[in-house]
Amino acid sequence: MFNFDTEQKVFEIAGIKVGGQPGVNPPLLIPSMFQKGDPAIESRRQRKFNKQLAGDNIKRMEELSEMTGMPALVAMVANQGEEMKNYIDFYVEATDLPFAIDMWNLDPRMEATKYVAEQGLQDRLLYNSVTVWSPDVPAEVELIKELGVKHVVTVVMDMVNQTPSGRLSSLDDMLDKMKPGEFESILVDTSVMNLPATGICALANRLVKEKYGLPAGAASANGTYMWQKSTYRDNREKWGENAFVGLDAGTHAASVALWGDFIFSGPMWGIDSVFPAVAAAHSMVSLMNWAETGELTQNESTPLHKLWPDYVKTLKGEE
């Protein structure tokens, strides 16, 4: 159940590994910055943001990554190319980590991607994303390949067949269209449509890994923050202040436990609960994989090794 016969691809994005057999490598967490509601944003129109606050958030993410062993990078959100350029300039000064650009419209996303290429930052860019909704996938792939993009997220979805098999058939089609790109890394986002449908994504992740061995995951935060806006916001007093925190962290943990190699985990302000929850879930997966295969992950950067080193020694027979 937690081990695949198919060879699992492990990609490397600016030193960060993603993919592989469940429980062997730590999952990649991708929180977002500069989205709507980010306290760091002061004025989008004037391209002003609180660099101290944004920098502190990145440092906290780095600290949690070091504590748990789980790699992380930031998906920066912007509406216009010029706005994203400001964020990129800030980010590469603040950290050596890779980054993703999160822009729904193609033209500003291409403008930002061209800027990345001009700065020679292609090794650090996770292009987010080539989607089934792109007006011309082959043309987009050709453009970003010409710009030297190496690492890509593809979003798969079949609006007629919204089952796991629909996600897989969508991936079949997308990979055929993306072949000319021959990218170094392809991460498959299985499209969270709402919180319960995160379970559909989990099963789709398994199908993706079974057939192609590609790293699979999803933006589970899409589901949790939809719930926050539609249900929790108007009933906060009844639910209590901690209800959303628990729901959000638990959903991300389940997403990783059920064949998720990466997650888009939502705004930076959630990382203090998401990181430990996901670390606990991934440690359980490492043990489930060990129980099935008799082999314990040797990756000392996993949460299991980082947070439960004495237990690892016991499993190895060293204590």
Predicted TM-score (pTM) of the model is 0.95
What is the DSSP secondary-structure string of the chain? Answer: ----SSPPPEEEETTEEEESSTTTSPPEEEEEES-TT-TTEEETTTTEE-HHHHHHHHHHHHHHHHHH---B-EEEE-SSHHHHHHHHHHHHHH-SS-EEEE-SSHHHHHHHHHHHHHTT-GGGEEEEEEETT-S-HHHHHHHHHHTT--EEEEE---SS--SHHHHHHHHHHHHHHHGGG--SEEEEE----SSTTHHHHHHHHHHHHHHT---EEE-HHHHHHHHIIIIIGGGHHHH-TTHHHHHHHHHHHHHHHTT-SEEEEEEGGGHHHHHHHHHHHHHHHHHHHHHHHS-----TTSHHHHH-HHHHHHHHT--
Residue 286 belongs to a domain with what CATH number?
3.20.20.20
Confidence of residue 317 (pLDDT cuts 50, 70, 90): confident
pLDDT higher than 80, residue 319: no
Confidence of residue 236 (pLDDT cuts 50, 70, 90): confident
Question: pLDDT exceeding 90 applies to what percent of the chain?
Answer: 90
Confidence of residue 234 (pLDDT cuts 50, 70, 90): confident
Confidence of residue 142 (pLDDT cuts 50, 70, 90): very high
Q: What is the pLDDT of residues 17-31, one digit of tens each?
A: 999 999 999 999 999
Is 219 part of any domain? Answer: yes
Q: What is the pLDDT of residues 205-224, one digit of tens each?
A: 999 999 999 999 999 999 99
143: containing domain: 10-316
pLDDT higher than 80, residue 184: yes
Is 80 part of any domain? Answer: yes
pLDDT higher than 90, residue 94: yes
* Average predicted confidence (pLDDT) for the chain: 95
pLDDT higher than 80, residue 307: yes
- Provide the number of structural domains found in the chain: 1
pLDDT higher than 90, residue 316: no
In the prediction, which pLDDT does 311 show?
95
pLDDT higher than 80, residue 1: no
Is 5 part of any domain? Answer: no
Is 3 part of any domain? Answer: no
Is 231 part of any domain? Answer: yes
- If you average pLDDT over residues 116-131, what whole number do you get? 97
Is 287 part of any domain? Answer: yes
In the prediction, which pLDDT does 127 show?
97
- If you average pLDDT over residues 287-296, what whole number do you get? 94
Q: What is the pLDDT of residues 49-76, one digit of tens each?
A: 999 999 999 999 999 999 999 999 999 9
Identify the residue with better confidence: 92 or 1: 92
Is 2 part of any domain? Answer: no
- If you average pLDDT over residues 130-143, what whole number do you get? 94
